[in-house]
Structure formats: structure tokens, C-alpha cells
């Protein structure tokens, strides 16, 4: 416990990001302590808003997630689950309103690594990638959020497949990844590690925010800033239209007012490395993996950039066909189905997070795992219940413990009186409870295994030599840890 003994006091705490040579060791320590305290109190605030114990949202986070991000993403995933269920039952399309309902709940990362899209004075953007990305070690891998929040990935993917332009024929446009953006206007840039053909659509209630596109930009001629002049741009409304464009050519976003999300469906430049296992996992999440034919068709529809330097000096270039972005109007119409933007639907999604993982009771004596759940007692203390998951899929209450006082986080765990199996248990440590449960698990199920991110170095079908590999999510080389150190794959 720290006691203030006197002396001068600062008006505000020091920020570790602003450290100078004049700071004393005490300054540095107090600055770090203050940052940790802010993170700690934020965790409790987010948990209280959801009505859960902090452990429910701090456990099983994917690499790079804050507690607030985790809580938002869990709620978004439950919202997406509700939308998918209704869409399937009523045979309706996923609407723009559905997409906004999911993205309003999604926990976006403060992404500081996409400097190519940041305008002057901007330090981070809200931009995440679902699907396949290129790893620093030459592999392609599925970002952890893609499968951890698979309902979200499916809703965003279904939106496009429900509106697939007929020009792409039976198999449709193929993509490996979805860039999810919120409330920023991207500066003039070209995408990195993008095969090229990309679909983009904006969502939300806003004015402005059109996409500027330089269709004749040939990156072989020089930098995007030196070649793409305002007079040569095409300004396109992507709020009312689905747009096919080449992400490797210059593009930017006009300033806007209001709430604006955008989705970019693109194909990573190393998509051919994805083997059948990786492709299958993406397809389970609704992603329509590309083929050589679909990619070729997309490139044909977009045409070849003539180059602004060539246009300025060559008659032959001027006589060549002008490449054009392709647009398909998206009818506004009356939104079908439930209004998932309504507050009661948001509360329903949050309630589903609280009850997440619950299963019917059973009398099994063989178990595949365990689940930890928290609830609030009438006096506002928390109760922790640990359920063993039976081979039938049902659960049995095995251990419970009540908080010793409101907000303390200290529990007295005891084996449930109604649970006859296993040795006696009485402990204040959740680690002891987990070890006790592990002794009773005879055939560990998926919930007991460490989450893995799926990656592939090569596709044997294309005559390449390496195969797929799984590594722990958030470990070196896995998504949301190392991937963000690479250039952005595709951004608006």
C-alpha cells in the first residue's frame, strides 16, 4: 500500500510515452503504475457494463486484444449469430442495417501500423483484417479474429455473396480477406500485398466520404504522390454502390461527417500459398476463396492502367482503352427483418455473452473439459461456478465460490455438495480449481486445447513443397502479434 507523505504533487500523472532524460527512476515507476491502474479500472468498468466478471472477458483473448476490444467483439459475434439465424429462417439477405448493427458493437483496435492511410496529424486508425494475411516468415495465415468471431466473418461475407454481380458467373468473385474500417478517411495510397481486384462498400449514416480513384495509376512509373493528381481522379459514391476497383492503384477517401464504416473484400498477393486446409477453414467462415478464373475476370473487368507519365508523352497510350472501376447500385429499399440496431437487440447480444457456453445439465461421469461462469448475487458480490462438460455435451456443476466482499476478486472455492466425483476441494486459488478439474477430464475436447492459428507455406496442388502448420494464437508469427508489423494488405 502506498501512502503520500507530503511534498509537491503533480496536477496530472506522467505519461510513459512522454518520458525524458530528466525523469527520475521514481517518475518512471509511477508513470507505469498509473498506466496499469487505468487499464485495470477500465477492465472492471467494461465487465460491469456487460454484467460479467472480468475473467469472462480477459480469458481466451486473441493476441493484441484489450479487454474493451474483447468485450465488444464477443457482443458483436452474438449479434451476428442472431442475424444469421433470422436470415436463414426467413430466407432473406443480409442487409446494410445488419452490417452496421454488428460493426457498431465490434471492438476495433487502435491500429498505429497503417501509416500509409493516415492523414497528417492522425496517429492511428480503426482498421482490422479478417481472413488471410501474409506472415513475416513467408507463410499465409488466418487471423485469429476470423475464426474466434466466425459469426461476424460470416455476416460480412454473406453481405457480398447475397449481392454477387452476375458478371462473375457461377463461382462469383473470390476474396481471401476483408478489411474492416471505421470512421477514418484514408489518405492517398496504394495497397500492399494485394492481388488487385477488390470490392468496396461503405455503410452508415454520413455525408461525404466518397472514394477517389486513379484508374490509370501505374506504380512502375513512380510514387503514388508524384503521379496521382487531383485532376485525374474519379470520385465514386460507395455508400449507394458496390465498387470493383484495383487496390494497387492510387485511391483515397473524401472527408465526411457522421458514422461511416467500410468493408474491402480483397485477395492477398500470396493467396496461392493457401493449401486445402486453410481454404476450407476460410470457407467455413463464409469467405469465397478465389480461383485463377475469378481473379483473371476481375483483372479483365478493371483493364490495364495506361500510366499518367505515358499518357502525357505518348499518343499510343492515349489511344489505348481507358480502364474503369465498375459499380453496381445497391438498392436502399426497405430493410427486411428485425431491426438489430434497436437497443433491446443490443442488450440481447450482451446477455448472450453473459450466458455464453452454457449447456443443459447432465449426469455424465466422463468429461471433456470445464467452463467457468460468473454471476452477481443480490448483495452485488460475485459468484464463480465451475462446470465440467460431459461427453454428452451437457454440464455438471462441480465447484462454486463466492466473493468475500464486493469487488475484492477473492473467492473461497469449494467442491459442490451435489457433485460426488473427485477428491475434496477447498481453496482460494482458481489455479487449484483448474488443476482439480483437469484431473477429472478423461478425453479433452476442443475447449481444453490451446487456440491455434492456421497457416500455410505452400499449396501442394500448385507443386509447392511446404504444408500447413498451426501455432498458438498470438505467438510469434501469429495474427495480431507479428502481422501488424508488415505493410497493410488492403486499406480503403
- Using one digit for the tens of pLDDT, what is the confidence trace for 88-105? 999 999 999 999 999 999
- Domain co-membership, 254 together with 383: no
Residue 344 lies in a domain: no
**Which of 158, 197, 181, 337 lies closest to 261, judged by CA?**
181
| DSSP per-residue codes, 237-265 | --SSEEEEEETTS-EEE--EEE--EEEEE
- Domain co-membership, 194 together with 278: yes
Residue 43 lies in a domain: no
Residue 13 lies in a domain: no
Q: What does DSSP say about strands 241-246 and 468-472: parallel, antiparallel, or unpaired?
A: unpaired
| DSSP per-residue codes, 155-211 | HHHHHHHTT--GGGTTT----SEEEEEES--PPSB--SSB-SEEEEEEESSEEE-PE
- Domain co-membership, 196 together with 284: yes
pLDDT in tens, 151-174: 999 999 999 999 999 999 888 999
Residues in a beta bridge with 376: 382
- Domain co-membership, 362 together with 307: no
pLDDT at 487: 43
pLDDT at 51: 59
Contact 260, 186 (CB under 8 A): no
Residue 452 lies in a domain: no
- Domain co-membership, 379 together with 271: no
Please say whether the dihedral angle defined by the alpha carbons of residues 40, 80, 98 and 454, taken in this order, is positive or negative. positive
- Domain co-membership, 141 together with 211: yes
Q: How many whole angstroms separate alpha carbon 482 and alpha carbon 478?
A: 6
Domain carrying residue 252: 67-311+323-329
Contact 422, 439 (CB under 8 A): yes
Spell out, as residue ranges, where the chain has pLDDT lower than 50.
Answer: 474-488
pLDDT at 203: 97
Residues in the chain: 492
Q: How many whole angstroms separate alpha carbon 254 and alpha carbon 273?
A: 35
> What's the pTM?
0.77
- Domain co-membership, 297 together with 364: no
Residue 413 lies in a domain: yes
- Domain co-membership, 305 together with 406: no
Q: C-alpha dihedral over 60, 66, 71, 74, to 10 degrees?
A: -50
Residue 181 lies in a domain: yes
Contact 218, 302 (CB under 8 A): no
Contact 139, 453 (CB under 8 A): no
- Domain co-membership, 373 together with 299: no
- Domain co-membership, 200 together with 80: yes
Q: How many distinct structural domains can be found in the chain?
A: 2
Could you tell me the CATH number of the domain that includes residue 90?
2.60.120
Residues in a beta bridge with 302: none
- Domain co-membership, 373 together with 232: no
Residue 476 lies in a domain: no
- Domain co-membership, 94 together with 224: yes
Contact 288, 197 (CB under 8 A): no
Q: Answer with the one of 416, 440, 464 that is the final residue of a domain.
A: 440
pLDDT at 307: 93
pLDDT at 478: 40
Q: How far apart are the first and last CA of the chain?
A: 49
Residue 219 lies in a domain: yes
Amino acid at each position: 500500500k502506498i501512502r503520500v507523505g507530503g511534498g509537491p504533487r503533480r496536477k496530472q500523472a506522467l505519461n510513459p510515452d512522454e518520458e525524458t532524460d530528466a525523469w527520475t527512476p521514481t517518475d518512471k515507476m509511477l508513470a507505469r503504475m498509473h498506466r496499469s491502474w487505468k487499464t485495470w479500472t477500465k477492465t472492471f468498468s467494461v465487465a460491469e457494463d456487460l454484467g460479467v466478471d472480468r475473467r469472462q472477458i480477459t480469458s481466451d483473448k486473441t493476441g493484441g486484444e484489450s479487454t474493451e476490444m474483447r468485450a465488444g467483439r464477443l457482443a458483436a459475434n452474438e449479434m451476428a449469430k442472431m442475424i444469421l439465424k433470422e436470415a436463414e429462417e426467413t430466407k432473406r439477405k443480409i442487409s446494410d442495417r445488419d452490417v452496421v448493427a454488428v460493426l457498431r458493437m465490434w471492438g476495433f483496435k487502435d491500429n498505429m501500423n497503417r501509416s500509409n492511410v493516415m492523414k497528417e496529424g492522425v496517429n492511428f486508425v480503426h482498421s482490422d483484417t479478417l481472413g488471410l494475411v501474409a506472415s513475416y516468415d513467408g507463410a499465409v495465415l488466418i487471423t485469429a479474429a476470423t475464426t474466434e468471431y466466425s459469426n461476424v466473418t460470416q455476416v460480412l461475407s454473406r453481405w457480398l455473396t447475397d449481392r454477387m454481380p452476375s458478371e462473375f458467373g457461377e463461382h462469383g468473385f473470390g476474396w481471401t480477406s476483408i478489411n474492416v474500417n471505421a470512421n477514418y478517411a484514408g489518405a492517398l495510397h496504394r495497397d500492399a500485398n494485394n492481388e488487385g481486384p477488390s470490392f468496396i462498400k461503405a455503410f452508415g449514416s454520413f455525408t461525404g466520404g466518397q472514394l477517389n480513384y486513379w484508374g490509370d495509376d501505374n506504380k512502375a512509373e513512380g510514387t503514388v504522390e508524384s503521379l496521382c493528381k487531383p485532376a485525374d481522379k474519379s470520385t465514386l459514391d460507395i455508400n449507394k454502390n458496390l465498387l470493383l476497383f484495383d487496390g494497387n492503384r492510387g485511391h483515397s477517401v473524401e472527408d465526411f461527417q457522421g458514422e461511416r464504416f467500410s468493408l474491402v473484400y480483397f485477395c492477398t498477393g500470396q493467396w496461392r500459398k493457401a493449401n486445402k486446409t486453410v481454404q476450407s477453414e476460410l470457407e467455413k467462415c463464409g469467405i469465397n476463396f478465389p480461383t485463377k478464373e475469378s481473379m483473371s475476370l476481375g483483372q479483365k473487368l478493371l483493364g490495364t492502367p495506361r500510366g499518367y507519365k505515358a499518357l502525357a508523352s505518348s499518343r499510343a497510350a492515349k489511344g489505348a482503352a481507358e480502364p474503369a472501376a465498375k459499380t453496381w447500385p445497391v438498392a436502399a429499399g426497405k430493410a427486411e427483418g428485425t431491426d438489430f440496431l434497436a437497443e433491446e437487440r443490443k442488450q440481447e447480444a450482451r446477455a448472450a455473452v453473459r450466458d455464453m457456453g452454457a449447456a443443459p445439465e447432465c449426469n455424465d461421469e466422463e468429461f471433456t473439459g470445464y467452463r467457468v461462469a460468473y454471476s452477481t448475487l443480490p448483495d452485488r458480490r460475485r459468484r464463480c461456478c465451475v462446470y465440467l462438460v460431459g461427453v454428452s455435451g451437457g454440464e455438471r456443476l462441480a465447484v462454486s465460490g463466492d466473493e468475500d466482499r464486493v469487488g475484492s476478486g477473492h473467492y473461497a472455492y469449494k467442491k459442490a455438495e451435489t457433485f460426488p466425483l473427485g477428491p475434496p476441494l477447498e481453496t482460494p486459488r482458481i489455479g487449484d480449481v483448474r488443476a482439480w478439474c483437469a484431473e477429472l477430464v478423461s478425453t479433452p475436447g476442443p475447449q481444453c486445447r490451446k487456440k491455434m492459428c492456421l497457416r500455410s507455406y505452400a499449396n501442394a496442388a500448385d507443386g509447392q513443397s511446404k504444408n500447413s502448420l498451426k501455432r498458438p494464437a498470438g505467438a510469434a508469427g501469429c495474427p495480431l502479434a507479428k502481422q501488424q508489423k508488415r505493410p497493410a494488405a488492403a486499406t480503403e
